[in-house]
Amino acid sequence: VRLVAALALAAACLLTWEALQVGPLPDFEPTRLSSAAPPARRVASLAAEADEMVLELAGPGRMVCATYMSSIHDASNVVELAKLVGVKISNIAQVEPIVLLEPDLVVVNDFNRPEALFLMEQAGLRVHRLRYPRSIEDVRSNLIHLGRALGEEGAAARWVSEIDGVSHECRARTRGRPRIRTLVLSGSLWAEGEGTLVDDLIRTAGGENVMAEGSRVVSPEEIIFMNPEAVVLTESGLNLFQGDPALASLPARKFVVPWRDSQPPTQYVIRAIRSWAVRLHPEAFAGWK
Amino acid sequence: MKSVALFFALLVVSMALSVCLGARNFSPAEVFDVLLGRSDLPAPHQTILMEIRLPRTLLAVMAGGALAVAGVVMQGLFRNPLAEPAIVGVSAGGAFGAVLALAMGWATTLLTLPLAAMAGSVLCTLMAFAVSVRGGRASIVALLLGGMAVNSLAGAATSMVMMSSSHFLLRDMLGWLMGTLDARTWAHVKVSAPFILGGFAGALLLARRLDLLAQGEEVAASLGVDLGRLRVWAIAVACALAGSAVAVCGIIGFVGLVVPHILRGIVGPSHGRLAAASFAGGALLLLLADLGTRVLPVASNLRLGILTAFLGVPFFLYLLRRSAGKENYA
């Protein structure tokens, strides 16, 4: 027993030196991979927003896998297209199945674990990371970079132009009108605050976010105290509102949207801007759907 | 001794299976060729073997072994067959450290998540131990109660952090809380190995004193065992072992409880032999559970902690049932 203990202790001391040599991971910048590389033909999508963007930019024929989220109607705008992609990944941290699909581009986002990205790069895969968008400008940037990586700059540019056009028109039509005090609840009572894509969407659509601070779960009391004029909420949020007499009596206009439209970090942001603007200022957008 | 050797032989076979089987199966000859650097397999396949499966297999062995040996030490210290490292807050502290690191956005490098989990484990164990010390001596009952309190506190803090996190982070957090060996690298092996090997050596060195403690505190003290020092070292060893396992694999329950129990009936109560056999047994259990998460048809959402719990909970209930017949738990 003492001999085994001594050997284990000696090995521990030797390995301590090895442990001290472990350094940080390299950062994965979108621009690092996309400029000089040829357009990707076998794309693996490991993020829900990547499913939407890649499927509509490059088409299902160029995808080797999508995430399981692309099969859920409430979560994805591309369920029908995604049916044409044979492989759906549910555990995005398992690197082996992804490597074996032999993709020439793997599209991930900020929520994919860095160690999985590290292993993919070690296996020689090109990894393109989408930044989690905190503004409409971030969505534009993601579309431009991804379009370049896929060799679909033209299609990406058209979407960007459409985003700019809709945003510009919304701002122009709501200029001088009172800002509608708006609360957006994604999920149940999770309120999106300052510095988020939702905050930017509200302002572009002619509203003012009543959740002035960061995003967090809010209580019914807080919602009543905030006294919003409009509440954008999902199906589960509506159930909570209807089940709570105090919230049900709130005079605010309530707009129910599918979860996929409560904060769309993709080209579907165009639809969100339009529909939110129409709902917040129906008189300014007569003729818009 | 033969049974210990048999467990190590089974462990070697399971390690070979773990390296060979997965999303793509490799033959032993292909594995040897890759290990010897003379393989003509495509580079990505060689990477799968060398950079994904080998570190994953080694981590399963080390973490499973560490959890089981920590269980041996805790059961010896508390002289209670239902003791395990989690009762002094190692797992709950690790969970809090990891969840906090994810929520605060610190987990963007390879090692911040395991180091935060390790820090949480050590902090909670120290808190539980600190409240148990009276007049320079640690009381076992106070340690147990302190551990329960710290577990509750860390659990509440973890829930609070999770409630304040967006649903994107929640998936990551839940994945970690259920235990996983997905996407583990050589860096994880390097970081945890010194603690696990050092802790294993410590457990072996404490074995004789734990054998004496099993005869009763008075007997052990009369035979020259410094009970206060033994408690400090036993807690430190269990914390190093379980804390480092939790840091790299997340929360994996019941290995520390189940494995020493099964093996005590086979190799006997001697803590030296039991620790060695438990290392092999714990490694075997975790290795097979990890293999299950990779090759079972329903495995896409089956996590390591879930599989070990499925195996461990029925056994735990069986133990409770059997103990209830002999002792009054009322």
Residue spans of beta strands (DSSP E) within chain B: 133-134, 137-138
pLDDT tens-digit series, residues A257-277: 888 888 889 999 999 999 899
pLDDT tens-digit series, residues B278-308: 999 999 999 999 998 888 766 566 788 888 8
Residues 29-88 of A with CB under 8 A from B: none
- Find residue B138's DSSP bridge partners: B133
Do B191 and A12 make contact, defined as CB atoms within 8 angstroms?
no
Ramachandran category for residue A151: left, alpha or beta (phi over 0 → left; psi -120 to 50 → alpha): left
Strand order in the sheet with A127-130: A88-89, A63-67, A43-45, A105-109, A127-130
Higher pLDDT, B144 or A138: A138
* pTM of the predicted model as reported, rounded to 2 decimal places: 0.84
- The amino acid occupying position A104 is D
B322 to chain A nearest CA, in Å? 32
Q: Which residues of B touch A97 (CB under 8 A)?
A: 23
With a cut of 50, which residues of chain A have pLDDT below it?
30-32, 34-35
Which residues make Cβ contacts (< 8 Å) with residue B152, sequence separation at least 6? none
The token pair at B216 is: 């009763």
The pLDDT of residue B129 is 84
Which residues make Cβ contacts (< 8 Å) with residue B117, sequence separation at least 6? B94, B95, B97, B98, B101, B243, B246, B247, B250
pLDDT tens-digit series, residues A178-216: 999 999 987 678 888 888 999 999 999 999 999 988 888
Q: Which residues of B touch A119 (CB under 8 A)?
A: 47, 51-52, 183, 185
ipTM passes above 0.90: no
B69 to chain A nearest CA, in Å? 13
The pLDDT of residue B328 is 41
Q: How far is CA B79 from the centre of its chain?
A: 19
Segment among A223-227, B60-64, B215-219, B317-321 with least mean pLDDT: B317-321
Contact of A143 with A162, CB cutoff 8 Å: no
Which residues make Cβ contacts (< 8 Å) with residue B68, sequence separation at least 6? B255, B256, B259, B260, B278, B279, B281, B282, B283, B285
pLDDT tens-digit series, residues B92-133: 998 999 899 888 888 776 677 888 888 898 899 888 888 887
- Report the distance separating Cα A9 and Cα A102, nearest Å: 42
Quote the DSSP letter at residue A69.
G
- Find residue A63's DSSP bridge partners: A43
Do A11 and B183 make contact, defined as CB atoms within 8 angstroms?
no
Q: Which residues of B touch A27 (CB under 8 A)?
A: 108
The pLDDT of residue A26 is 55
- Find residue A45's DSSP bridge partners: A107
- The amino acid occupying position A228 is P
- Report the distance separating Cα B271 and Cα B76, nearest Å: 8
**Across the interface, which of B44, B166, B201 has its CB nearest the CB of A12?**
B201
Name which of A35, A40, A56 is nearest A269 in CA terms. Answer: A56
- Find residue A185's DSSP bridge partners: A191, A233
Alpha-carbon torsion, ordered A221, A223, A224, A225, to 10 deg:
80
Task: Note whether A124 contacts B: Cβ–Cβ < 8 A.
Answer: yes
- Average pLDDT score over residue span B247-270: 87
Q: Which residues of B touch A6 (CB under 8 A)?
A: 201
Residues 174-203 of A with CB under 8 A from B: 186-187, 190
Contact of A123 with A100, CB cutoff 8 Å: no
The token pair at B76 is: 């010896």
Do A94 and B169 make contact, defined as CB atoms within 8 angstroms?
no
The token pair at B318 is: 């069986």
- Report the distance separating Cα B25 and Cα B291, nearest Å: 12
- Report the distance separating Cα B262 and Cα A148, nearest Å: 59
* Number of residues in chain B: 330
In a 13 Å sphere around the CA of B293, the CA atoms on its Cβ side amount to 28
- Report the distance separating Cα A69 and Cα A48, nearest Å: 6
The pLDDT of residue B323 is 64
Name which of B97, B18, B133, B99 is nearest B64 in CA terms. Answer: B18
Do B110 and A115 make contact, defined as CB atoms within 8 angstroms?
yes
A13 to chain B nearest CA, in Å? 7
- The amino acid occupying position A17 is W
Do A25 and B24 make contact, defined as CB atoms within 8 angstroms?
no
Phi, psi angle pair for A180, to nearest 5°:
-85, 120
Q: What is the 3-state secondary structure (H, E, C) of B2-36?
A: HHHHHHHHHHHHHHHHHHHCCCCCCCHHHHHHHHC
